[in-house]
Structure 1
């Protein structure tokens, strides 16, 4: 285990009437709020009216910016920064899923910054100031409600890039599982894939003596699998939705990252997929992660075998660790298929013609290598994407 410093200051309010706590937390956002959201879903479930009523009751002025899309766009971030500066906004209330929250974080970092907010996503610069953010989560997936990270897509060049800073953690996050009842199954499944991947990115580490966080991660993954099947059988199962919603937060609030070094190569490779083809992040991860594990089979079979045994209850063959690992990868693919997610590029209508381009973009033309479990250059990424095509 390596030394670590853990501090997650986001206040989490979880419950079937959690929205009643919004008014008591609005003071953390100041006296004028940007209400940031996506399409019409929050209006369809009545959450929009609840938020507006609460803001007015609390005497908080607000301006609105909707229109956030999956794989949130830089152009809308620029619009939000300009609006906040013009209106003297003091804080942002993000109502929606990870895309809305990531967009809100980008706006929050961009308002006090003299340069282009895209600098934070493409250079070593990190924001040292940002507007405070509050969250009302409607889609459990990205874990952005308590994380330091934000991912934004720049339309020009089809670039999807991330940044992270402790200053971008939301001040509060309000979670009501009832808000997720109207989600289509595919969105729910993509969210499950996203949170599962967040745990695997941390789980596959070369740091030794991390049994506590290994076991915590394994327990979280087993819970996600169990509850995912329950939810698929009955999408109205509020208990299952509650478990999944909390799992998405725990997967990315850094508690499972303590004392270890995560990998994150799979996320970076997937960003090229969704940056170019605009597929759901969770769908891209269900394609890339098994291929990444297959590539790692000859390099780190022990950890993949442990994953297979402890998460999917596969018998551990001491004399053939690789076979145990292979069976784990197969079971992971079966889980994704059961969730009606793609596991091959062709399943998402993606060909192999731009694999080299994606590998080069991911490594900045081989100026960097991805991952920590095993460093990946562009040639390795090409191999992984070809494995995802087989």
Structure 2
């Protein structure tokens, strides 16, 4: 096991009705005015908006609305929200929604005190030296953003999908009520499953030093996701399954399974970011296409771990059987496994590969993911 420092300052409030506590948590942090960020009007139709605003009113906390944040959040919206936050001199950012809203909230929080363009923080032109506090109420389990400091945003002009990360962008309090997730569509449930699995396997397969304890944690997360996805597809109102799915999602990317792991990378995310940046496909749907294609190319680099995956996830023997089983499971639950299902054809590959190569430089993987390698992986997904 490699040396590590594990730091996670986020307080998680987990359970039914916890969203009504948001005013209390903001008041304890001496927040007087928040920028309330959200995506669609679903939070208003479902009654969540009323619960949240009532909780804020009870503590005399003012709010400024910033709605319309989309899946695969974009830098133009972040810039718009930063201007709004500055105009109204808010003290904090409150995200009510899924990972896209929360990632946007983190970027807004970092961008408000920064004198330049917020995209500078994503391309390494400037560092995050301060940020407004971030709070969130989660309505979709997928990204793990509720308990990490990362935020991924797409620049629509450059077709770059990059991330920021800083100790200053950890949420102060994350409220996770699985009951709020029961209206998530079938499509986004299965896309979320693929996203969680992607977070778990990146280090599991690529790490130079992967402790057995961490492999067991990863396998527990993946088995939990598989089991509870199947339950939820039959019974979306099953709270117990929602709860296990949500907590597995949080654990997949809160730093725990990567503490003590060394020499790992995020190639599946690197490749998928090209798909969602260019074609605006749902992130999880892009990942379910990329993962089997990447696994087929990568398996010979870590054969024992791929065999372990086959055995401990699917009860099979060989790496090839494990890869096929995961791809078959993606097909079974209805998340895409082929580029054509995303409307991406072989004619789109040259432009896609160009973005993958740009991403490889940003991820520090340009030596491994050359044009030939990127072509091979993407052709595996045709």
CA deviations 1:129-176 (Å, max 9, x no partner) are 111000100000111111111111111132222121121110010011
Q: Secondary structure, in 3 states, of the residue corresponding to 1:92?
A: strand
Task: Give the aligned partner of residue 352 of structure 2.
Answer: 358
The residue aligned with 1:307 is: 309
- Structure 1 residues 55 and 156, CA, compared in 2 at 3 Å: closer, same or farther? same
Matches within 5 A, 1:232-247: 232-247=233-248
Could you tell me which residue of structure 1 aligns to residue 70 of structure 2?
Answer: 69
Per the alignment, residue 326 of structure 1 pairs with: 320
The alignment's TM-score, normalised by the length of structure 1, stands at 0.94
Q: Which residue of 1 aligns with 2:373?
A: 380
Deviates more, 1:157-166 or 1:77-86: 157-166
Shift of 1:193: 1.0
- Map 1:283-294 to 2 at 5 A: 283-294=285-296
Q: How does 1:258-277 map to 2 (within 5 A)?
A: 258-261=259-262, 262-277=264-279
Structure 2: state its 5+ residue gaps. none
The equivalent of 1:169 in structure 2 is: 170
2:222: which partner in 1?
Answer: 221
Task: Give 3-state SS (helix, strand or coil) of 2:137's partner.
Answer: strand
Which residue number in structure 2 is paired with residue 5 of structure 1? Answer: 5
SS in 2 for 1:363: helix
Q: How does 1:9-48 map to 2 (within 5 A)?
A: 9-27=9-27, 28=29, 30-48=31-49
Give me the whole-angstrom Cα distance separating, in 1, the residues matched to 2:235 and 2:309: 28
- Supply the distance in 2 between the matched residues of 1:365 and 1:52 (Cα, whole angstroms): 40
Rounded to whole Å, the distance in 2 between the matches of 1:98 and 1:42 is 14
Please give the secondary structure, in 1, of the residue aligned with 2:3: coil
Query: 1:40-94, CA deviations, whole angstroms, 9 ceiling, x for partnerless residues?
Result: 1111111001111111111011111000000011111011110111111110000
1:1-41: CA deviation from partner (whole Å, max 9, x where unpaired): 21100010100000112123222211336211000000111
Which deviates the most, 28-37 or 44-53?
Answer: 28-37
Which segment drifts farther, 122-131 or 175-184?
A: 122-131
Bigger Cα displacement from structure 2, 283-292 vs 199-208? 199-208
Q: What secondary structure sits across from 1:13 in the alignment?
A: strand
Aligned-residue Cα RMSD (Å) equals 1.7
Question: 1:125 offset after TM fit, Å?
Answer: 3.5
- TM-superposed CA distance for 1:366, in Å, is 7.1
Aligned 8 A contact 2:207 2:265 in 1: no
- For 1:346, which of 316, 340, 350 is the aligned residue? 340
Task: Give the 3-state SS of the residue equivalent to 2:289 in structure 1.
Answer: helix
Q: Is the 8 A contact 1:270 1:285 kept in 2?
A: yes
Greater shift after overlay, 345-354 or 245-254? 345-354
Q: Contact between 1:194 and 1:282, CA under 8 Å: does it hold in 2?
A: yes
Residue of structure 2 equivalent to 1:190: 191
Do 1:370 and 1:377's aligned partners in 2 also have CA atoms closer than 8 Å?
A: no
| Pair 1:84–1:290, CA change in 2 (3 A) | same
Q: Is the 8 A contact 2:274 2:359 kept in 1?
A: no
Distance 1:307 1:126, change over 3 A: farther
Larger CA deviation: 160-169 vs 108-117: 160-169
- Rounded to whole Å, the distance in 1 between the matches of 2:261 and 2:69 is 34
CA distance in 2, matches of 1:369, 1:145: 23
Supply the distance in 2 between the matched residues of 1:178 and 1:48 (Cα, whole angstroms).
15
- CA–CA separation in structure 2 for the residues paired with 1:203 and 1:124: 31
Distance 1:234 1:368, change over 3 A: closer
